[in-house]
Amino acid sequence: MSELVLGLDVGGTGSRIALAPLDPASGALPDAGDGAGSAASRRELTGPRVHIGPEGSSAPAVVDALLDHAAEAWPEVFDLAAGDHRLRGVALGATGLASLVDEPETLPRRMAERLSVPAAAAIDAVTAHLGALDGAGGAIVALGTGAVAVGHPGSTLPSAAGERTGSAACPAGWRRVDGWGHLLGDRGGGAWLGRRGLEEALRAHDGVDPAGAALLAAGRERLGAPADWPAQLYTRDDRAGVLAGFAADVVALAASGDVVSGRLVEAAGREAAASALAALTPEHPGRVVLTGGLAAAGGALTAGFTAEIAARRPETEIAAVAGDPLDGALHLARLAAASGIVTQEGFLWT
C-alpha cells in the first residue's frame, strides 16, 4: 500500500497540485498507468490563478477547483472507501493568505474535512522556504512577481530518524519581511524591477533622462507606443503581472550591457539580500537562499545579492535552492501527516 500526500501551490500567475509519496526517501509513486508516472517523485496538475477583487482573494475557490481537478484525475486516491493507496496529509501554500483571505484557518479545515486527513495551509513564502531549504533553518528570499523573505529555525520530518526534537517537527519562529505587494514594497521582485524599467523608459521618452533609451525601445517592442501603456496597465486587475512581464526585458538588457538596466537588476539583488538578512533572527541558522523565478536571472542580480550579503553580514552562508514551492507544499503535507505543525498566525494554519 502506498502512503501519499497532496501539495497545492496557489499563486498570482497560476496554481498547481501535486501527489507524492509520504516518505520522500521511497521515491516511488503509484503507477499512473500512463507510462510516465512511476519514476517521478511527484505527479502534477495545473489550475487557475488567484484574482484579487473588491471581495478579496479568490484563493479558496482556486483550492476547490484544484481538488475537483485532482479527484477527477486521480480517483483512486480520493476514493476513501477503497483502493490500495492511502492519503496521509494535504497542505497548501497560497499568495496573499495572511492579508487578503478572510479567516485563512478555514482553508485547512475545509481540506481536512473533504479528504479526512490532517491538513495545513501556509503563505506561499513558507512553502517556498520549506522547498528551497528542504526544511532546514535559515532565510529565503523569493523573487517572483512579488518579493518576500522568511526566516525559520528549521523543521525535521519524523522519517529522519534521530533528528526529531520532541513532538513538534515544525516549531513556531517564522519571521516574514516584505511581501507588501507592488505598491508598497516587494522590493527586488519582478513587478518592482519591471516598474522601474518602465519608469526609466518613460524618463527617456519624456526627454528628462536619455539613459533609459534601450529600455524605451524594449518597452515599445513589448507594449507598443508609450501613449498606449497606461490603458494596457490601469484597466487590468493583474497590474503586477504586466509590470513583472517587463522585468524579463530589463534582465535581458542588463545581460547585454545596458548600464541603466544593469544598475536596476543589481539593485534588485541588493534589495533581496537586505530582506533575507532582515528575516533572520538570532534563533535562525545564518543561511540564506535566493529563489523564485527572477532568481534564475543570475548575472547582475546574483552579483548584487552576494555583494550586499558580504557588505552587511559576510559570515552568512549562501545556499543553493533544493526544491520549488510545490516541493515545499508536499514537505508541509508530510509535516501535517506527522501532526508536527505549530500554527503561527500570519504564516501557517492547521
**In whole angstroms, what is the distance from residue 251 CA to residue 268 CA?**
10
Q: What are phi and psi of 119, to 5 degrees?
A: -135, 155
Of 81-89, 229-237, 257-265, 316-324, the segment contacting a copy of itself by CB under 8 A is 229-237
DSSP 143-189: ESSSEEEEEE-----TTSTT---SS-SB-S--EEEE---TTT--TTS
Q: Is 230 in the site for a copy of itself (CB under 8 A)?
A: yes
Rounded-to-10 torsion of CA 56, 150, 347, 3: 110
Q: Is 69 in the site for a copy of itself (CB under 8 A)?
A: no
Q: Which amino acid appears at position 81 of this protein? A: A
Answer whether 94's CB lies under 8 Å from 42's CB: no
Can you give the C-alpha Rg of the chain in angstroms? 21
Q: Is 99 in the site for a copy of itself (CB under 8 A)?
A: yes
Q: Is 229 in the site for a copy of itself (CB under 8 A)?
A: yes
Single out the residue of 239, 245, 263, 303 in contact with a copy of itself (rule: CB under 8 A).
Answer: 239
Report in angstroms how near the CB of residue 192 gets to a copy of itself at its nearest: 10
Q: Is 269 in the site for a copy of itself (CB under 8 A)?
A: no
Binding residues among 78-97 for a copy of itself as defined by CB under 8 A: 96
Alpha-helix residue ranges (DSSP H) falling in the chain = 59-73, 75-78, 106-115, 124-132, 190-205, 213-223, 229-234, 239-255, 259-279, 299-312, 325-337
Q: Is 274 in the site for a copy of itself (CB under 8 A)?
A: yes
Binding mask 197-226 for a copy of itself (x = CB under 8 A): -xx--xx--xxxx----------------x
In the block, residue with C-alpha cell 529522519: 160
Of 3-11, 19-27, 135-143, 270-278, the segment contacting a copy of itself by CB under 8 A is 270-278
Report in angstroms how near the CB of residue 181 gets to a copy of itself at its nearest: 5
Nearer to a copy of itself, 68 or 209 (CB): 209
Mapping DSSP to helix (H, G, I), strand (E, B) and coil, where does residue 86 land? strand
Q: Is 190 in the site for a copy of itself (CB under 8 A)?
A: no
Closest CA to 181 of 171, 166, 191: 191
Nearer to a copy of itself, 119 or 276 (CB): 276
Answer whether 29's CB lies under 8 Å from 14's CB: no
Single out the residue of 3, 37, 71, 180 in contact with a copy of itself (rule: CB under 8 A).
Answer: 180
Residues forming contacts to a copy of itself in the complex (CB under 8 A) are 52-56, 96, 98-100, 177-178, 180-185, 187, 195, 198-199, 202-203, 206-209, 226-231, 233-237, 239, 243, 274-275, 278, 346
